[in-house]
Structure 1
Amino acid sequence: MTDNPQPQTATDTAAQEVAEQAHPWADLPPEHFRLLRLAALPTDRHTGARPLRFIQLGRVERLGKQQSLLRLTLQLPGQRVRKEQNILEVWADHEQRLVRFGPDKGLHVQPENRGLGRFMLAQGIAWARQHFAHYQVQHSPLPSKDAFTEEARARRDHCLQAQGFVVEYLDPLQIKAQCGAPRVSSLHGDWHTEKVQIVELLDAASMLQQADQSLREQEVKVRKLEERIEVFKREDGGLRFTITCLVAFCVFQAGLLIWIATR
């Protein structure tokens, strides 16, 4: 006897459709890594201290006949971020000759206000200009939560416009907005190099070597200072003993003089 097949539920059907629609490049891990140096900046009243930091840039790209992809990710040592943060995707549709910058939920980078947003956009633009400079740029909606204050909206718009994107508001309250560009060639691939610097492998090795040499020099200085402190301690002990003997001698002399006077 064979079992009758169970009817497929709506949940199973939705899960199957999602699995079928999932792009094979959706979960590609980074394949190439580079070191980024975030320069120390003055403390910001909104984001707080901005010390010198080093983070890792991950990169993976695919060039296909129908689509191409560039995905950039930022990894912070000792810090975890949400899945949708620190990621930039650039999709190219060769049939429609269209380039789309993502993700759909917007570009969210941590740490904030360090120049990383412009840096990642510049890297994506440089890749798109290299391969698809004549493609059009798809208009992408801008999440309203990125502009919850006038200052945040101005900072976001300035970042996009500095890279060549055109920001358009779809309502009088300037809540719904989208950005795009006529062509990929009209975008700019520059960023604040004084804020974010790409550290090459030899430069990183040289920095480590200099740090190790500086550490050794500091250890020598500390050892010499400790030796001087020990010398001062010994001299201090000798002086204390001498002073104690002098005080005792003075007390003895005073007592002797008092005894002679009373006799």
Structure 2
Amino acid sequence: MTEAMSVAEPVAPTDAKEAEAASPVLWEEVQAEHFSMLRLAPLPTDRATGGRPLRFVEFGKAERHSKDFSLLRMNYQLPGQKTRKEQNHLDVWVDHSNRTVRVGPASGLQIEPWNRGLGRFMLAQGIHWAQKRWSEYKIEGTALANKDALNEDTRLRRDHFLKTQGFDVAYADAQHLKGSVKDAKVGNLNNTWNTDKIQIVEILDAAQMLQAAEQKILEQEVTIKKAEDKVSKYRRDDSGLRFTIACLVTFAVFQAGLLIWIATHR
């Protein structure tokens, strides 16, 4: 459930296969139907992840409802970049009979590119969706993968991610290897994300951005054309000066030759 776990085994239940088997399969083939564009703000280079330039990604989601279950399915698409099926994908399952909410897949949330706020944004969207109707439901706790705790920086990133969204992280040992997330009431979780890192770009905003970019390109083309005209003028002036200098040199040489001829034939 943490964005930082794309470089380590993500959060997973104690028995992932058992959790997957318990998942409803009636909406297994559901694909994203509603889309929006996200702007990833340029950020300083990170020592662990490298450069973080300005990027745009497509965020898609779909939801389904029945008497027993509800589902919110979300994913990201990156232009010009291929990702694995299990990456950039998050499901929020609601079990109405048990009044519980579960976040999947069981293999964990794997985000690419990571350390850009995308994991927190996706989880915040899922929490907000669940809080609108089922704030009294309980979101199921889960064991945290031991591999994440082998690297202190990865563990701290994971725990910060979870605690920021309102989850309670606990450890059964002093080495911080046997961690878990406790059950939590959906209404008590935090549904916000870092808006300095990610902004939702609406259609009109995107159109304005494209219009502004096109206007900027036209202005740059005019500036370039003026610069090219100046360069051409300078080249013409330079050619004229060169021709004038050549004529003066030729005339000077002719005069010198003429003087020498006069001096030697007196």
TMscore range, shorter length: 0.7 to 0.9
In the alignment, is the contact (CA less than 8 A) between 2:40 and 2:56 conserved in 1?
A: yes
| Compared CA separation, residues 252 and 60, structure 1 to 2 (3 A) | same
Shift of 1:257: 4.1
Name which of 50, 54, 57 aligns with 2:56.
Answer: 54
In the alignment, is the contact (CA less than 8 A) between 1:90 and 1:102 conserved in 2?
A: yes
1:113 is matched with 115
TM alignment of 1:93-242, pairs within 5 A: 93-242=95-244
1:65 is matched with 67
In the alignment, is the contact (CA less than 8 A) between 2:149 and 2:176 conserved in 1?
A: no
TM-score (norm 2): 0.86
Counterpart Cα distance in 2 of 1:221 and 1:137 = 58
Counterpart Cα distance in 2 of 1:202 and 1:39 = 19
Identity of aligned residues (%): 54
Shift of 1:147: 4.1
1:43 is matched with 45
In the alignment, is the contact (CA less than 8 A) between 1:37 and 1:55 conserved in 2?
A: yes
| Compared CA separation, residues 121 and 65, structure 1 to 2 (3 A) | same
Counterpart Cα distance in 2 of 1:225 and 1:207 = 27
1:113 is matched by which residue type in structure 2? N
TM-score (norm 1): 0.86
1:36 is matched by which residue type in structure 2? L
Shift of 1:89: 1.1
Q: CA RMSD in A?
A: 2.1
Counterpart Cα distance in 1 of 2:23 and 2:226 = 68
In the alignment, is the contact (CA less than 8 A) between 1:147 and 1:156 conserved in 2?
A: no
Counterpart Cα distance in 1 of 2:22 and 2:239 = 84
| Compared CA separation, residues 248 and 99, structure 1 to 2 (3 A) | same
In the alignment, is the contact (CA less than 8 A) between 2:141 and 2:184 conserved in 1?
A: no
Gaps of 5+ in 2: 1-19
TM alignment of 1:69-88, pairs within 5 A: 69-88=71-90
Counterpart Cα distance in 1 of 2:94 and 2:125 = 15
In the alignment, is the contact (CA less than 8 A) between 1:69 and 1:90 conserved in 2?
A: yes
Counterpart Cα distance in 2 of 1:150 and 1:20 = 32
2:81 is matched by which residue type in structure 1? Q
Shift of 1:79: 0.5
Counterpart Cα distance in 1 of 2:23 and 2:158 = 32
Structure 1 counterpart SS, 2:141 = strand
Structure 1 counterpart SS, 2:166 = coil
1:14 is matched with none
Gaps of 5+ in 1: 1-17
Shift of 1:76: 0.3
Shift of 1:101: 1.4
Asked if 1:243 corresponds to 2:245, the answer is yes
- How many residues are aligned here? 246
